[in-house]
Chains A and B, each alone.
Chain A
Amino acid sequence: MTAVSSPSDANTKPLVQARNVHKSFDQLEVLKGIDLDIMPGEVVAVLGPSGSGKSTFLRCINHLEDIQQGYIEVDGEQIGYRVKNDRLEKLSQNGIARQRRKIGMVFQQFNLYPHMTVLQNIIEAPVGVHRESRKDAIENAKRLLERVGLSEKANAYPRQLSGGQQQRVAIARALAIKPKLMLFDEPTSALDPELVGEVLATMRDLAKQGLTMIVVTHEISFAREAADRVVFMDGGVIVEQGKPQDVIGNPQHPRTQAFLSRFL
């Protein structure tokens, strides 16, 4: 594995640090020791075949999945645990909920709240969890909707939107909590091919604005153009990582080569 220089200066502390992360579902070990640092402002694309553990790793970062071994830290806090009297103890559900509040997430299936309008979807967490005033939250939501190009859909219900529009709303909803880190779990995999472009365009826009993003994706072109670093996973380990032009343009590992050859 090659050390990768971050886009920000060398003295800043990584926003995400993962060390020797292991995760099993019953007998099946899906993560077999992941080490990864992500610097503030960095956009990391995680590529790999299905079943490589890339989505699971993403879900471990905000503790939607617990890990059996290792260490994950986001913004200086160990996720899911705390140290008390020099002993590591599991956090309560509410403690974990509090840690998640600085991490935005976008899901493959969008997961908008179907009983709420677009605007209500976006202000739900800011008002209900972050205790923002309703007025501020609505103003911010309208700005975000403008940014993703859906201002006129504020009062529509998710069912009335196309898949691409729903995913752009989901991105706006995740941005509304002003996250320090954004996780994208295959955000375009459930979309019709002609709708993928609009979502990727929105994500490229975010990448340019310096948001720290981890994107699990099958979109090689997005990884090449928008990512600062590409991480290739297979069989529960990171096989290769580096600058997009190196990993995608000139892959060293045979498994990376085999995977990428299918997209040429």
Chain B
Amino acid sequence: MSTSTKNKAAPSGAADFRDVTTAHTPFRTGSFVLRVAIAVIVIDFAWIVAKNENFGWPIVARYFLDPTVLSGLYVSLGLTVIAMILGVALGLVIAIARMSDDRLASSFASLFIWFFRGTPLLVQLIVWYNLSTLFPQLSIAIPFGPTLASWDTNSVITPMIAAIVGLALNEAAYMAEIIRGGLISVDRGQAETAQAFGMTKGRALWRIIIPQAMRSIVPPTGNQLISMIKATSIVSVIAMADLLYSVQSIYNRTFEIIPMLMVAVIWYLLITSVLNIGQSYIEAYYGRSDRRNGATAAKPAAAIEEVSH
């Protein structure tokens, strides 16, 4: 055995140095059988679902573009966009406050995060919706002084406002922690360099720190956005006619519960799929300075350098 390997390694046996480009992949029977088995199970399952009349696919198709469903869809999307924008903006402010040297600002931020992450979203929404039982009147006043303006709470806090405020404040608490994590992940030397070049703190954040933090902020924010779309279905408890609420209102009439829920499920999946695609583009944008992604841009410069040598 040992003598034969010795012979192969000898310079005279050069023919035995087989180049890997000549290698072929052998047929792996076990793997093939497993793949066939999985394929059969998947096809069978799909067939069962498609054939099962209880899913009511014709009804799904009929109601998929129903005006009630579409208006519910607009409400869900609108709520998601508005609550997310407000949540991210407020979350950024709270993240910066949390990291501030100012004790007052950082404790206020911690308190905010502690409260809104620590209580269920459902409870928060119901409290906002029922705010008038706590404060029948909302007024602008000088503290301990005269009232300047006053409104009836029920006329200010409509279901729409309660839903936006509830979702946005809850989202802000989570986004604050995500953004803080992103800001911390940026090398300390970057903030110091911006400082040394005479940048104000705001400018350093906006131009130097946040663009670098985005790489670690975007993926969890995508998660949050998808959670938010689904969280909007909770607002149906405060009589907001979102996507879930509108399919419910239809099946309360027609008793086609599963088909109508399938309509909602397919819409939710469609939206999240579109968002996933958007997220991958945003990630590619913030990762553009990586050698891997930037390699094509750098090539012409490198080529010129080689020529000039």
Contacts and interface: CB of A to CB of B under 8 A. Distances in A.
Given A152-B301, A155-B297, A156-B301, A64 B290 contact: no
Interface in B170-202: 187, 189-190, 192-193, 195-201
Interface string A97-132: 111110101010101011110000000110011000
Contacts of A105: 193, 196-197
B289 A115 contact: yes
Nearest to A158: B289
A152 B305 contact: yes
Contact of A97 (B199, B208, B289, B295): B199
A109 B198 contact: no
A159 B203 contact: no
Secondary structure type dominating chain B contacts: helix
B6 interface: no
A33 B224 CA distance: 54
B304 A64 contact: no
B212 A115 contact: yes
A107 B197 CA distance: 12
Given A159-B294, A160-B298, A129 B198 contact: yes
Given A109-B189, A114-B212, A157-B294, A97 B195 contact: yes
A177 B138 CA distance: 53
B60 to A, nearest CB: 46
Contacts of B208: 113, 124
Contacts of A209: none
A107 B198 contact: no
A129 B201 CA distance: 12
Contacts of A114: 212, 289
Size band of the interface chain A makes with B: 20 to 34
Contact of B298 (A109, A111, A156): A156
Nearest to B214: A115
A159 B304 contact: no
A27 interface: no
Contacts of A99: 198
Contacts of B190: 111, 113
A62 interface: yes
Nearest to A97: B198
A93 interface: yes
B229 to A, nearest CB: 29
A160 B291 contact: yes
A152 B304 contact: yes
A107 B289 contact: no
Given A111-B187, A113-B212, A160-B298, 10 more contacts: A64-B192, A94-B200, A97-B198, A101-B197, A124-B208, A125-B197, A125-B198, A159-B291, A159-B294, A160-B295
